[in-house]
Amino acid sequence: MEEDLQELLLTLPSEKSLAGTKSLYLYKGTWLPVSFLRAVDSFQRDFIAQDTDIIVASMPKSGTTWLKALTFSVAKRHIYGPKESPFLTASPHALVPCFETDLYMKDPQPNLEQAPPPRIFSSHSHFANLPESIRNSKCKVVYICRNPLDQVVSFFQFAHQCKQDGTPLLVYKQDGTPLLSLDECYENICRGVLGRGPFWDNVLGYWKASLERPDKVLFLKYEDLKEDIISNLKKIAEFLGIPFTDEEEKEGAIEEISRLCSFDNLRNLEVNKNGVLRPFGALNSSFFRKGEVGDWANHLSPSMAENYLKIVEEKLSGSGLTF
Ligand code: A3P
């Protein structure tokens, strides 16, 4: 590790991640694994947005994969019809690359100029930490959040199941149980110690921005998409300035996008069953687990859930955002 990074790390608060192996560092108000620090810094300092850019933003494990597929399919529907969709052979994470875990990790100065507009990228950065040109240009930000209990359970399961080139990220004990159980992570979770967290800071920045500038930031909830994907697809298209025409609606274009991006369809595609996400190294399949609302009840006791929700509610109080 370079000397300046080592020196920086000595000055930052650190805690164990959900996987129990790597440390998270609190950098500019965000808990980050050390492997992302450089990329986060380069992205936040150097990226220059174009007015036509679209940024898919989220706290990890909130439905980013789904929103990437939906946003790309809506924004590029005049180029690729559902039958020739690039999602049939490429992961949503390959088609909508993440600034911090992909583009700026591969190369501190990626050449992004060649991509045809609209360029679509993703980020897990807090709104306040996005490069100024994203916040101040006319580019659009689509954000997805999720019930904090399902988000945390999904994150823990991801850390548990996610493999890098076949090796579990999580180090298991000899008896096969995870190094850290969800119970053992719970105290950290309640203090907001989650990669890209605290949860409430990640969510609140985008929530407030969406209220102040509804033309700039669209704030979506995973649960709403599950309940009514069609009206949310219309919302995304209108927000991007390319509403579905009457003719498209009649021809069933919205239903086709909804089907293409559905959990069952994406999960069963060869690329998402067996592909590997570079340079992160995670299996594409680890981004498709259950895709359900309320799975937290199978992993958290009622008192753990109640207590964590109370903490989140307190953090969000007065904002108008509820779960
Ligand atoms: P679960 O772990 O609860 O199943 P992210 O994409 O932000 O990493 O979030 C991953 C979560 O979204 C996982 O939740 C995953 O199963 C779910 N997911 C992935 N693709 C989905 C889709 N097309 N529709 C609904 N949920 C999806």
User: For the chain, what is the HEC assignment?
Assistant: CCHHHHHHHHHCCEEECCCCCCEEEEECCEEEEHHHHHHHHHHHHHCCCCCCCEEEEECCCCCHHHHHHHHHHHHCCCCCCHHHCHHHCCCHHHHCCEHHHHHHHHCCCCCCCCCCCCCEEEECCCHHHCCHHHHHCCCEEEEEECCHHHHHHHHHHHHHHCEECCEECCCECCCCCECCCHHHHHHHHHCCCCCCCCHHHHHHHHHHHHHHCCCCEEEEEHHHHHHCHHHHHHHHHHHCCCCCCHHHHHHCHHHHHHHHCCHHHHHCCHHHHHCECCCCCEEHHHHCCCCCCCHHHHCCCHHHHHHHHHHHHHHHCCCCCCC
pLDDT for residue 172: 64
Q: What phi, psi does 239 have (nearest 5°)? A: -60, -40
pLDDT for residue 282: 81
ipTM: 1.00
- pLDDT, mean over the chain: 92
* Atom 10, ligand 1: residue with shortest CA distance: 61
Q: Of 206, 26, 51, 39, which is closest to residue 128 (Cα–Cα)?
A: 206
- Within 10 A of 302 (CB to CB), how many other CB atoms are there? 8
Angle of the 199-212 helix axis to the 302-316 helix axis, nearest 10: 40
pLDDT for residue 320: 96
* Atom 2, ligand 1: residue with shortest CA distance: 154
pLDDT for residue 170: 55
* pLDDT category of residue 5 using cuts at 50, 70 and 90: confident
pLDDT for residue 35: 86
Model confidence pLDDT, tens digit, residues 10-24: 999 999 888 776 689
* Interval 101-125 mean pLDDT: 94
More confident residue, 256 or 5: 256
Model confidence pLDDT, tens digit, residues 23-72: 899 999 999 998 889 999 999 999 999 999 999 999 999 999 999 999 99
Q: Which atom of ligand 1 is nearest to the CA of 62?
A: 7
User: What is the chain's length?
Assistant: 323
pLDDT for residue 163: 64
* Interval 237-263 mean pLDDT: 97
pLDDT for residue 312: 98
Res 173 pLDDT > 90? no
What percent of the chain lies above the pLDDT cut of 70?
A: 94
pLDDT for residue 88: 92
Res 146 pLDDT > 90? yes
Q: Which atom of ligand 1 is nearest to the CA of 261?
A: 23
What percent of the chain lies above the pLDDT cut of 90?
A: 79
* Interval 303-319 mean pLDDT: 97
How far is Cα 253 from Cα 258, in angstroms, rounded to an integer? 9
Of residues 78, 93, 124, 126, which has the active-site annotation? 124
Sequence-separated (6 or more) residues with CB below 8 Å from residue 134: 47, 49, 53, 55, 141
Residue 219 CA to ligand 1 center (angstroms) comes to: 17
pLDDT for residue 183: 87
How far is Cα 148 from Cα 312, in angstroms, rounded to an integer? 8
* Interval 233-240 mean pLDDT: 98
* pLDDT category of residue 279 using cuts at 50, 70 and 90: confident
Res 309 pLDDT > 60? yes
Model confidence pLDDT, tens digit, residues 192-222: 999 999 999 999 999 999 999 999 999 999 9
Q: Which mutation among 287, 298, 300 tests ligand 1's pocket best, with the greatest number of atoms within 8 A of CB?
A: 287
Q: Which residue has the tokens 């494990």?
A: 61
Q: Could you confirm whether 124 is annotated as catalytic?
A: yes
Q: Which atom of ligand 1 is nearest to the CA of 262?
A: 23
Res 176 pLDDT > 70? no
pLDDT for residue 1: 65
pLDDT for residue 272: 96
Q: Which mutation among 65, 93, 145, 262 tests ligand 1's pocket best, with the greatest number of atoms within 8 A of CB?
A: 65
More confident residue, 170 or 137: 137
Sequence-separated (6 or more) residues with CB below 8 Å from residue 223: 146, 147, 293
- Within 10 A of 315 (CB to CB), how many other CB atoms are there? 17
pLDDT for residue 181: 82
Which residues does ligand 1 sit against, CB inside 6 Å?
58, 60-66, 150, 154, 157, 261-263, 266, 287-291, 295
pLDDT for residue 19: 74
Sheet holding 140-145, edge to edge: 120-123, 54-58, 140-145, 217-221
